[in-house]
A and B are shown apart, each in its own frame.
Chain A
């Protein structure tokens, strides 16, 4: 199905960081016909494009396993083409798209539709995630077997939790037959006021007089899901966790050996709920921004491996949808074009995690969780997907430069150190920042 171009490329003199093999040194990387051929010093090859990556970090292509591409149904917010542009400009080579489209990705036909559009318009890899239940209503299981056959990489009702515990149990048991990851958006809808909660419940929500979503709305469901993972022994993945207690629950589950994993979104490690003080809906997302103590726990969770990966929960919305009374605005922020810089600035430069740990969470771990056996590592034989980043490059976030159709970022004007400079899929350079372009030469 995929129309990804298979090309050859020699990347010279880069600092190759490949957590899967423990590689962390300056060397060359040769990609032949879309696959990694060799890693080593002083590599040469005939009739191959050469890219000089001196002073830059060469990493296995980044995988964002939590993205809302909005197509089909909400193309005014984003479509597969604009979303994929946003991704490669942000250094992302693979995107997993969530099923809350219209129609939802709850049958093989929608999966095929997305794959065919992606093959036409996207030079990067797009992996649909199937819905757990029909129309994500939480009532009847989707044809998970057919979804799997069509090529979904996981199942989730993201946007909504699976409220019914019995149904969640059956979904997990059923998905286990296909070794599919079950991703849950953990939220107790009653405690979250059925979508009418606006922000984290606490001092700031009290000051602002906005309806609060208590942390327990998330942790109750995380705890339930972990219990179901124990019952079913199915692979469970907690989407966008946001609270200290969620981190603690996942840590304990992992210690016990349960098949549980989780992700965090950059806004949940970079911002607290105090950001909502001006009632700007660009800080409204679900789960909401939490408090400093939660950020600290999340950073610890990233460090000790409790948190497996970083995913953006890229959720584009039109300007007119967001520039309204905050209570009426939809949840979500864009993230594809800021994730790499936020990770480098807030995690790597601040020494929360090492460069190699960060690459692991951006690429190796998502590939492992999603069974994407060709991706997430730069070993010979694997796909030649590469993200090149410049650790020192300073950027100022300007939403007007975004490729995404939507500009709803909470990071407007942020100055960050570290940025993607080239995005390579199967040896094909799909994106290079302006200042990196002169580094390519044909031999």
Chain B
């Protein structure tokens, strides 16, 4: 492989080329092996400090990053900040600059406002990794989904992938749409028309409002988490009706290919997005997604930390 990683930050999959995505996935392959060892730890990020800056509650993503950082021997610190206090008090920039004054190398950020990681990346010297921003992107989730599909299906090009649910508000959906289309999958998004975002077809996806029809030819079904609050915004009448139309049941799944993969970024609303039978059934790879998340995040942390060295070196040689 001749491609070198040069990006200081990982903000989105929109930013990445096909080759860069492939490099991350191949690097993740090696890191997955590390997690199978008796001693699941390598010294690659020894002496580096990583801060997990979480402005939004998240257990899964934070745990996954935390494990990844520890397996790379980084020194890590969790900073959880209640959104409400941020809006009233210190600005995001001030908070981040204070964190940076602690001389950290990498900031992993989760925030409910789209674009917050971009704002931080513009204002910080440290590398910024987006751990989910508003309805924008969740690149490491997108990458772990790609990794899981690739591992199970051996390829991504030409696969039919159906993404079901609240695409309008889903950062997971956006990262998946970019990643999957760049790697050559055929993506169909499925949901009530009220949750299909404006002009999304211009991103190269098909749209369907009929789950049963859409999954017939699917190789992969990615279910999205439904925020129950959306009902209050009149985006659908009731949870019951949503589940009826867009929930995945074994009965509907029986009409799909027998080897179709069922994925979900978690946490699952059992009985709404899918029945327990489906979530725990033979087509489900939901727990493998969690395992793969660690390898993918290790790969991303490793790659951006190297790019930082590259940047410093360039600065040094510029001084000469």
Contact = CB atoms under 8 A, between A and B. Distances in A.
The answer on A and B forming one complex is yes
A208 interface: yes
Residue among B115, B116, B203 with the highest chain A CB neighbour number at 10 A: B115
Contacts of A203: 198-200, 202-203
A209 B166 CA distance: 12
B320 interface: no
Contact of B136 (A202, A209, A214, A324): A209
B143 to A, nearest CB: 18
B285 interface: no
Interface stretch (B58-66, B86-94, B241-249): B86-94
B14 interface: yes
B45 to A, nearest CB: 28
A207 interface: yes
Interface in A403-429: none
Nearest to A327: B113
Given A206-B197, A207-B174, A208-B136, A326 B203 contact: no
Given A209-B114, A324-B119, A325-B113, 6 more contacts: A201-B198, A202-B198, A203-B200, A206-B197, A208-B114, A209-B133
B134 interface: yes
A328 interface: yes
Interface string B149-181: 000000000000000000001010010000000
B118 interface: yes
A210 B203 contact: no
A278 interface: yes
Interface in A265-315: 278-279
A206 B198 CA distance: 6
B135 A207 contact: no
B92 A325 contact: yes
Nearest to B118: A279
Interface string A314-340: 000000100111111000000000000
Contacts of B200: 203, 206
A145 B137 CA distance: 53
A87 to B, nearest CB: 31
A18 B174 CA distance: 54
A320 B199 CA distance: 33
A218 to B, nearest CB: 15
Nearest to A321: B91
13 contacts: A205-B197, A206-B198, A208-B136, A209-B134, A209-B135, A209-B171, A212-B198, A278-B118, A279-B116, A279-B119, A323-B119, A323-B123, A327-B134
A402 to B, nearest CB: 21
Nearest to B197: A206
Interface string A194-221: 0000000111011111101010000000
How big is the A interface, by class?
Answer: 20 to 34
A206 B203 contact: yes
A279 to B, nearest CB: 3
A153 to B, nearest CB: 38
Interface string A243-283: 00000000000000000000000000000000000110000
Interface string B107-127: 000010111101100110000
Nearest to A201: B198
Contacts of A212: 198
Contacts of B93: 323-324
B137 A209 contact: yes
Contacts of B137: 209
Given A209-B135, A209-B137, A209-B174, A325 B115 contact: yes
A324 B55 CA distance: 14
Nearest to A276: B115
A326 B113 contact: yes
A323 B203 CA distance: 29
A320 B93 CA distance: 9
B135 A210 contact: yes
Interface string A24-42: 0000000000000000000
B114 A210 contact: yes
Contacts of B169: 209
A210 B115 contact: yes
Contacts of A201: 198
A208 B202 contact: no
A279 B115 contact: yes
Contact of A326 (B115, B197, B198, B199): B115
Interface in B48-96: 87, 91-93
B276 to A, nearest CB: 30
Nearest to A193: B233
A320 B202 contact: no
Contact of A207 (B14, B87, B116, B133): B14
Contacts of B122: 278
Nearest to B14: A207
A242 B294 CA distance: 47
Contacts of A208: 114-115, 136
A95 to B, nearest CB: 31
Contacts of B202: 203
A205 B114 CA distance: 10
B115 A320 contact: no
A292 to B, nearest CB: 13
Contact of B92 (A202, A205, A214, A324): A324
Given A324-B92, A326-B113, A206 B118 contact: no
